Amino acid sequence: MSLRIGTRGSALALAQTNKVVGILADRGIETEVVTIATEGDAATGVPLHAIGGQGVFVRALDDAILRGEIDAAVHSMKDIPAARPAGLTCSAVLERDSPADFLVHECPLEAVSVIGSSSTRRRAQLLRDAPALEVKQLRGNVDTRIRKLREGQYDAIVLAEAGLERLGLTLPGEALPTDRFVPSPNQGTIAVVCRDDPAVAGAFAPLDHAQTRLDVDIERAVMEEVGGGCFTPQGIYCRGGDLIAEVLALDGSRWERIERHVATVGEAREWGRALRVQAATLIREAHAALGVKP
C-alpha cells in the first residue's frame, strides 16, 4: 500500500508529517509527501481572527483529500476547526506531546515588557498574569518569530513547547504552567485526517493513542459547546479526565472557569454548555470587539 500524505510547507508541519511517515515506514507502508499551500500561510500580516481563524490552515488540505489529490493530511490537532466536511475522518490521534506554552526570552524575565503573540488566548492570559505587559501581534512560522525576537522587536515571544521539541530547538526561557496558562484545546497533539475510506483509515489506526484521543475529544466537546474558536480567548485542557476550561475577557481583566473530572464526552458537553452560560457576556464582548458575527 502507498499513501499520499498532504502537509503544509512549514518546517514544523513537515517535522510532524515526517514523524507519521516514519511510523508508517516501520509498518511497511510506503508514502509520498505532498506539500500544499494554505491561506493561513500566505496571509501572515494579519491576525488569525481576521482571516477566518485556525481553520485557514486546514481547508486547503481538506479540499485536496476530497478531490482525491491526496489520501490523508497531518495537522496540529488544535488547528482543526469544530465543523468538519462530510467525507473526512480523523483516523489517528498520536500520543500527546507537551501541551504547554513556552515563553522564549533572552533578556532577564524581569526585563520583559513587550511580548509577541497573535493568539487572543495567550494575550488575555499574559495580561491577566501581568497587566502592565504590552502584547503585540506576531504571526509567521517559528523561524520568523524567533528572528523578530532576536531583532529586538519583542522582549519575549510565546510558542508551543511541543513545536520546539519537534523541531529539535532548545531556546532560553521557560514553559508556562498549564493551570495558569491553560492551553488551547488539543495543543501538543498531532492528528491524521483522511477520506472516510476503511482501507485508508485502517492504515493509520495503529498510530491512535486511546487516552490522548479521549482527552482531546473531551476538550473539543467543551470547545464546540462554548463556541467562538480562536475569536474568544479560551483555554481548555484535559489530562486523564481532569479538565480545566476557561473563557477570558480580551484584556485578561475578567474570566470564567471550571475545573472538573470528566469521564465521558457527553459529560464534557454538559460542562461546556454550563461554561458558555457563565461566560456569555465575555463571549459577546469578544465578538463585538473583533467584529465577528455570533
Please list the active-site residues: 79
- Cα gap 243→249, rounded to integer Å: 20
What single string gives the DSSP state of each residue in the chain? -EEEEEE-SSHHHHHHHHHHHHHHHHTT-EEEEEE---HHHH-TTS-GGGTTSGGGGTHHHHHHHHTTS-SEEEEEGGGS-SS--TTEEEEEEPPP----EEEEESS-GGG--EEE---HHHHHHHHHH-TT-EEE---S-HHHHHHHHHTTS-SEEEEEHHHHHHTT---SEEEPPTTTSPPPTTTT-EEEEEES-HHHHHHHGGG--HHHHHHHHHHHHHHHHH--GGGS-EEEEEETTEEEEEEE-TTSS-EEEEEEE--SHHHHHHHHHHHHHHTHHHHHHHHHHHT---
Distance CA 124, CA 130 (A): 10
Q: How many CB atoms lie within 10 A of CB 22?
A: 10
d(CA 143, CA 13): 13
User: CB atoms < 10 A from the CB of 80, how many?
Assistant: 25
